[in-house]
Amino acid sequence: MENSTEQAQHDNFSPLSVQDVDVDILPIVYEIMRSVERDFHDNSAKVRESQDCSLKVLELQKKLDSARAQDAELEENSSQTQKELAFSLEVTQQAVSDCLKSLGIINKPLGYESKMDDPPDDTDQPTTNVLPSFLDPPSPPSFVTVSDATFMSASEDEINNPFQPS
């Protein structure tokens, strides 16, 4: 009977999300602990509580098994989703590359190619900077010269004891 319901649930497969995972085990653990901590003077009550505790432990084991199965299913769904996303990214990259080629923005397939393969120019023109302006090296810092600086005069005591009030 259980297998048929599991099969029916499997046939009506919908992706499992983290919110769907049933991990409501803390109340069961609390009931088990409360049953064990009770101090009974009546032997019949001890036996009854022992049986109750055993049933709760079995219920807890079923919940944990169910949670493990759901966790494994989540991991399977996650890996499949990652594969689908990787394929989608590959398709998107190819579509962008094709679009750029059709617009004439790029003429060669994307990749790293050396500029050293180009034949050298026979002209004596100096090479120009082909980098965008934001990639230009920063200008050197300006320095203050001694003639530009203003000096303050200090007494010898102020130099030797800078933290003493004058």
* 42-51, 54-63, 141-150: the lowest-pLDDT one: 141-150
Could you please report the per-residue DSSP string of 11-35?
HT-----GGG-----HHHHHHHHHH
Mean of all residue pLDDT scores within the chain: 68
Q: Is the pLDDT of residue 85 over 50?
A: yes
Most confident option among 6-15, 40-49, 91-100:
91-100
The angle, 0 to 180 degrees and rounded to 10, between the axes of the packed helices 26-37 and 43-103 is 160
Q: Tell me the backbone φ, ψ of residue 127, rounded to 5 degrees.
A: -75, 140
pLDDT of 115-161, one tens digit each? Answer: 544 555 555 555 554 555 555 566 665 555 555 444 555 566 666 66
Residues in the chain, total = 166
Q: Phi-psi bin for 90: left (phi > 0), alpha (psi -120 to 50), beta?
A: alpha
User: What is the pLDDT, as a whole number, of residue 129?
Assistant: 47
Q: Is the pLDDT of residue 54 over 50?
A: yes
